[in-house]
């Protein structure tokens, strides 16, 4: 490390993720770390450690490098990851936002645990950037996750549920834990004017993952409603109410199971009056488009954050505890629980929220104000660390 220059590692971020939520986390975290560095009076170089997808890189600058991950590089010591870790003065591991948990299966969480141990054993200080922590579905995994996180310099939970899990289940000391919120609230955007229309513009995110029944097709997320039926009823309701309906994709990938765009295109065949929004090239373009809508609902959490942080009333559709943990922390009690409601109750809930859109506007403004304040905690803590180690 040269005087005044810190090399920042960014584990489980991505410069070109097909999941624009992961891209949003990467861009926003870099924005926040740069603010912290300005305050500390240091300059930063970034090394992104992440999987690469088959699209143009949209996170790039002269001071950003990328180490393309694969399973062997993460898991096997002789595949060269160590030399890259040793270049870093501090590592910020964001866990893909919500992947430091059992929700996506044992293989993913195993890689996430290995990467943290490799960082710690390299001698690089490990910070867990704001993310969902847990839950872990087995006692051994909970124990091992706790053992791992206790080796971190500091862990930032993005919601109270995650903080409680850190303290009570993973046994992480309070002095090593902080609560803030999702860094994607800080994602920049430019408000888009979508042209003149006398109709309210309603955005619906169709999750390809949920429409296909999860990765296995066997409802692995435990939904209590028929997601496809709910999407169809929602489209019909908004059309009948006189709205202009826009289907917005936030995961745009060659993986058919996960792809939102294919899922939306499938429904467009049934509803030709609905607008299929073109595939976005990056998270900023997605948030900018969403900012031009009058109402938004969907099951991709970072699409919902894009709406909330640009002043658009939003009804998140939750398939895991991360939604309620994040939005509920701000008293924003407008989340549709897909693991609790049946289809009939869910569409009633959605209609009620749309009928009370003015209340949602007030609440979403308050939510963003609180989120900005919580992100200030993250900037303050990181700035102090940068000043200490520079």
Query: Are residues 68 and 159 part of one domain?
Result: yes
Task: Report if residue 383 sits inside a domain.
Answer: yes
Radius of gyration in angstroms for the set of CA atoms belonging to the chain, rounded to a whole number = 21
Q: Cα–Cα distance between 280 and 206 in angstroms, integer?
A: 14
Q: What share of the chain is helix, strand, coil (3-state, %, to 5)?
A: 45, 15, 40
Query: Are residues 160 and 14 part of one domain?
Result: yes
Q: Cα–Cα distance between 330 and 32 in angstroms, integer?
A: 20
Task: Report if residue 195 sits inside a domain.
Answer: no
Query: Are residues 116 and 143 part of one domain?
Result: yes
Reading the block at residue 1, the tokens are 């490390």
Task: Report if residue 327 sits inside a domain.
Answer: yes
> Element (H or E) spanning 244, and its range?
strand 244-247
Q: Cα–Cα distance between 236 and 254 in angstroms, integer?
A: 29
DSSP 20-50: HHHHHHHHHHHHHHHHHHHHHT-EEEEEEEE
Task: Report if residue 194 sits inside a domain.
Answer: no
Query: Are residues 280 and 132 part of one domain?
Result: no
Tell which residue, 317, 320, 326, has the closest CA to residue 346: 317
Query: Are residues 206 and 179 part of one domain?
Result: no
Query: Are residues 177 and 218 part of one domain?
Result: no
Task: Report if residue 380 sits inside a domain.
Answer: yes
Task: Report if residue 191 sits inside a domain.
Answer: no
Residue 85, classed as helix, strand or coil, is: helix
Task: Report if residue 190 sits inside a domain.
Answer: no
- How many distinct structural domains can be found in the chain? 2
- The torsion angle over the Cα atoms of residues 275, 278, 282 and 284, rounded to 10 degrees, is -40
Q: Cα–Cα distance between 141 and 312 in angstroms, integer?
A: 39
Query: Are residues 147 and 82 part of one domain?
Result: yes
Report the CATH number that the domain containing residue 346 is assigned in CATH.
3.40.50.2000
List Cα–Cα distances, 237 to 33, 200, 244, 370, in angstroms: 43, 13, 11, 32
Q: Tell me the residue range of the domain where 322 lies.
A: 201-369
Report the CATH number that the domain containing residue 107 is assigned in CATH.
3.40.50.11930
Query: Are residues 295 and 156 part of one domain?
Result: no
Query: Are residues 383 and 262 part of one domain?
Result: no
Per-residue pLDDT of the chain (390 residues; tens, 9 = 90+): 445 899 999 999 999 999 999 999 999 999 999 999 999 999 999 999 999 999 999 999 999 999 999 999 999 988 899 999 999 999 999 999 988 888 878 888 999 999 999 999 999 999 999 999 988 888 899 999 999 999 999 999 999 999 999 999 999 999 999 999 999 999 999 998 887 789 999 999 999 999 999 999 999 899 999 999 999 999 999 999 999 999 999 999 999 999 999 999 999 999 999 999 999 999 999 999 999 999 999 999 999 999 999 999 999 999 988 898 899 999 999 999 999 999 999 999 999 999 999 999 999 999 999 999 999 999 999 999 999 998
Q: Is the peptide bond before 135 cis (omega within 30 degrees of 0)?
A: yes
Query: Are residues 281 and 149 part of one domain?
Result: no
Query: Are residues 263 and 142 part of one domain?
Result: no
Burial 215-243 (b: 16+ CB within 10 A, else e): eeeeeebebebebbebbbbbbebbbeeeb
pTM of the predicted model, to two decimals?
0.95
Query: Are residues 145 and 208 part of one domain?
Result: no
């Amino acid at each position: 490390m040269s005087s005044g220059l810190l090399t920042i590692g960014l584990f489980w971020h991505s410069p070109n993720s097909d999941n624009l939520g992961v891209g949003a986390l990467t861009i926003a975290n870099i924005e926040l770390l740069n603010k912290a560095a300005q305050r500390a009076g240091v300059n930063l170089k970034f090394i992104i450690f992440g999987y690469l997808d088959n699209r143009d890189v949209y996170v790039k600058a002269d001071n950003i490098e990328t180490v393309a991950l694969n399973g062997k590089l993460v898991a096997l010591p002789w595949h060269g990851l160590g030399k890259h870790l040793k270049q870093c003065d501090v590592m910020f591991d964001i866990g893909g936002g919500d992947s430091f948990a059992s929700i996506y299966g044992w293989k993913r969480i195993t890689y996430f645990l290995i990467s943290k141990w490799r960082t710690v054993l390299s001698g690089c200080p490990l910070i867990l950037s704001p993310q969902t922590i847990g839950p872990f579905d087995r006692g051994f995994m909970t124990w091992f996750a706790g053992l791992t996180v206790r080796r971190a310099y500091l862990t930032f939970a993005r919601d109270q549920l995650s903080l409680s899990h850190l303290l009570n289940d993973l046994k992480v000391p309070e002095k090593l834990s902080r609560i803030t919120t999702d860094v994607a609230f800080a994602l920049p955007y430019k408000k888009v004017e979508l042209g003149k229309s006398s109709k309210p513009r309603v955005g619906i995110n169709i999750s390809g993952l949920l429409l296909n029944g999860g990765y296995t097709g066997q409802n692995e997320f435990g939904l209590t409603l028929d997601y496809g039926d709910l999407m169809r009823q929602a489209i019909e309701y908004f059309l009948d109410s006189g709205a202009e309906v826009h289907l917005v994709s936030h995961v745009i990938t060659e993986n058919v199971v996960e792809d939102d765009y294919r899922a939306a295109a499938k429904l467009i065949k049934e509803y030709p009056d609905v607008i299929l929004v073109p595939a976005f090239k990056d998270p900023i373009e997605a948030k900018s488009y969403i900012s031009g809508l009058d109402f938004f609902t969907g099951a991709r959490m970072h699409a919902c954050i894009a709406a909330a942080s640009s002043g658009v009333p939003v009804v998140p559709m939750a398939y895991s505890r991360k939604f309620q943990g994040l939005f509920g922390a701000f008293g924003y009690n407008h989340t549709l629980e897909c693991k609790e409601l049946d289809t009939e109750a869910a569409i009633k809930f959605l209609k009620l929220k749309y009928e009370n859109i003015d209340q949602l506007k007030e609440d979403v403004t308050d939510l963003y104000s609180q989120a900005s304040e919580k992100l200030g905690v993250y900037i303050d803590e990181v700035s102090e660390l940068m000043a200490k180690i520079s």
